[in-house]
Amino acid sequence: MNITNGFTSRYSLSDIVANKIYELFDKDEVELIPFGFENISKGNEELKKFINTPESNLSHSAMIVKFAPDFILFKKKNPQEVYFLEIKVSVTPLWASHNLEEINALHPNTKLSDIGIVAREAWNAYNTLFPNTIILSACTYNPFLLKAQLVNQIRCLRCNGKNGMEDCSQCPIKSHEFFEYSRNYNAEGSQTQHTNLDLSSFMEVEKFFKTLDLHINSTCILDLEKILKEQGVKFPQNCYENIKIKILNQLKKEGCDWL
């Protein structure tokens, strides 16, 4: 088992998946156009500076840019369709007991391997601004490793807020509003508050794209799965060794026998 070393490792793994994504599809069926903030902001230092301010999370205009999905996916086959495609990499299983208790209280019998993670404001943006987004999940602790689903078909398990779990009945996404500005100081990178997604509401990647009448390169899938298995999982420095062992044993019971 390998343990990744923080935000830069997750970012690197996301890049690996993004580079392999072109091999996933038949070029006669799909055209992928790079999108995302890195492409939109290229060479624009003032825009990059603004996007890093708290105020950028309180404007739909800014969120369109900040959380623009990674690719535009043009399905060439009839009926022709245009989707957004976002790659999400999960390498850290949910390990904090109080977070697990909150999820189990809302959604009993949820498997540990089915709890994914996404930045909370990104989740807001995809639902309200990019509803035809396909999320491609590359998860090192889920038995299927690679899954996909349209964002409006994905179940949210729990949103983190300044004072703990957000009230799902008051979710801003339902009214196209915003979450309050707050940071998760226990997280790395941008310290954005997070949302936990239910990976069981996703489909295996080949089965999902088959529903869109698109063929997937099986060899590419096997290559990506091998890379994910080699990455293993990552725990934060403040996670005790006995908790790590408990989490890993549970994930193995759920089918992640490579850990």
Residue keyed to tokens 């993004």: 18
Distance between CA 108 and CA 111 in Å, rounded? 9
Distance between CA 258 and CA 220 in Å, rounded? 19
Q: Could you tell me the pLDDT band of residue 179, with boundaries at 50, 70 and 90?
A: confident
Residue of 227, 251, 253 lying closest to 92 (CA atoms): 251
Residue 223 has a pLDDT of 95
Residue 52 has a pLDDT of 81
Residue 184 has a pLDDT of 65
Are 31 and 85 within 8 A, CB to CB?
Answer: no
